């Protein structure tokens, strides 16, 4: 299934009206099932589904490594897609002790939680010694645009990318109609590639809410840069976790809200 479809539309401007076509994002119900039990149904883009299966399972705490999923089938059904997974025995026991079922829209990040405490659970403390030059941040955010083919076509999806400080390039970028889904897909790509998320930072095309900070910290990534604003709770959570949060990234500026010591200001920026 494609992540974008062509549809007929009528364009009306102040000067004229004309028929034509445009591309819009596809959105599909995707069910996560473990040992034939449905855990969640998310509305998402029907792409990078293996990454989605592993990344969602990892950020949900259902697995800790790829080997915890012993079998994965991707089934296209009449009304959506099922990611049918089999868990290793010890992980299945953990799943049964905390099973919850929910339906999550594309904008959903904490759907189906069972308590307020679970919603604001502190993420792992990040201990990475990563140092990044401010010029690198500008370069990464500029390059992110070139890794978003679906958004270039539709102007309607989010992206999450991982910039490797060692490679000085993106190791992976994933797109989705949901910002949380894009990050889960990226998490799956990194997990499957056995990448060390402590050696770089995340670049996001969305606002930053608490669950994105939580997911990043679970990955072990020490820093996140986003084009939109963070929430106050996201900042509080990031600060407590030792996590560097930068946002409102533009071509000529970005704002660092927590643990700015990881970002070294380029000399030319001080002129």
pLDDT digits (tens, 9 = 90+) for 3-51: 899 999 988 778 888 999 999 999 999 999 999 888 889 999 999 999 9
Domain shared by 156 and 95, yes or no:
no
Domain shared by 78 and 161, yes or no:
no
pLDDT in tens, 191-225: 999 999 999 999 999 999 988 999 999 999 999 99
Which residue in 108, 130, 195, 248 is the catalytic one?
A: 108
Answer yes or no: pTM beyond 0.85. yes
Residues 6+ apart with CB under 8 A from 222: 126, 127, 128, 130, 198, 201, 242, 243, 244, 262
Domain shared by 158 and 186, yes or no:
yes
Domain shared by 90 and 200, yes or no:
no
Please identify, among 66, 90, 118, the residue that sits at the C-terminal boundary of a domain: 118
Asked if residue 95 lies in contact with residue 62, where contact means CB atoms within 8 angstroms, the answer is yes
With CA atoms as reference, report the closest residue to 109 among 44, 54, 167: 44
Number of domains in the chain: 2
Residue 4 forms part of a structural domain = no
Domain shared by 163 and 90, yes or no:
no
With CA atoms as reference, report the closest residue to 59 among 187, 161, 171, 157: 187
pLDDT at 45: 95
pLDDT in tens, 227-260: 999 999 899 999 999 999 999 999 999 999 999 9
212: CATH: 3.40.140.10
pLDDT band at 90 (very low <50, low <70, confident <90, very high): confident
Domain shared by 171 and 99, yes or no:
no
38: CATH: 3.10.20.10
- CA–CA distance, 248 with 207 (Å, rounded to integer): 8
Encode 14-44: b = buried (16+ Cβ within 10 Å), e = exposed: eeeeeeeeebebbbbbbbbbbeeeebbbbbb
pLDDT in tens, 102-142: 555 555 555 545 445 555 567 778 888 899 999 999 999 99
Residue 11 forms part of a structural domain = no
Please identify, among 118, 144, 164, the residue that sits at the C-terminal boundary of a domain: 118
Structural domain containing residue 160: 132-270
Instruction: Give yes or no: 111 in active site.
Output: no
């Amino acid at each position: 299934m494609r992540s974008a479809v062509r549809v007929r539309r009528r364009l009306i401007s102040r000067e004229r009206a004309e028929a034509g076509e445009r591309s819009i994002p596809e959105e599909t119900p995707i069910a996560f099932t473990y040992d034939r039990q449905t855990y969640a149904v998310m509305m998402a883009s029907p792409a990078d589904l293996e990454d989605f299966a592993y990344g969602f399972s990892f950020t949900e705490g259902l697995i800790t490594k790829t080997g915890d999923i012993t079998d994965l089938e991707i089934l296209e059904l009449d009304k959506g897609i099922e990611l049918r997974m089999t868990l290793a025995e010890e992980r299945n026991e953990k799943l049964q002790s905390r099973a919850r079922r929910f339906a999550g829209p594309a904008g959903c990040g904490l759907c189906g939680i069972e308590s307020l405490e679970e919603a604001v659970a502190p993420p792992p403390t990040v201990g990475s010694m990563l140092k990044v030059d401010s010029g690198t941040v500008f370069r990464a955010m500029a390059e992110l645009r070139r890794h978003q083919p679906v958004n270039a076509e539709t102007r309607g999806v989010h992206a999450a990318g991982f910039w490797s400080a060692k490679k000085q390039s993106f190791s992976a970028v994933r797109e989705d109609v949901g910002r949380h889904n894009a990050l889960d897909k990226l998490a799956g790509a990194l997990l499957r590639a056995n990448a060390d998320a402590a050696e770089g930072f995340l670049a996001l095309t969305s606002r930053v809410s608490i669950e994105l900070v939580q997911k990043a910290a679970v990955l072990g990534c020490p820093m996140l840069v986003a084009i939109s604003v963070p929430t106050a709770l996201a900042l509080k959570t990031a600060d407590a976790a030792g996590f560097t949060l930068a946002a409102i990234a533009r071509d000529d500026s970005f704002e660092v809200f927590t643990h700015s010591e990881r970002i070294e200001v380029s000399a030319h920026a001080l002129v």
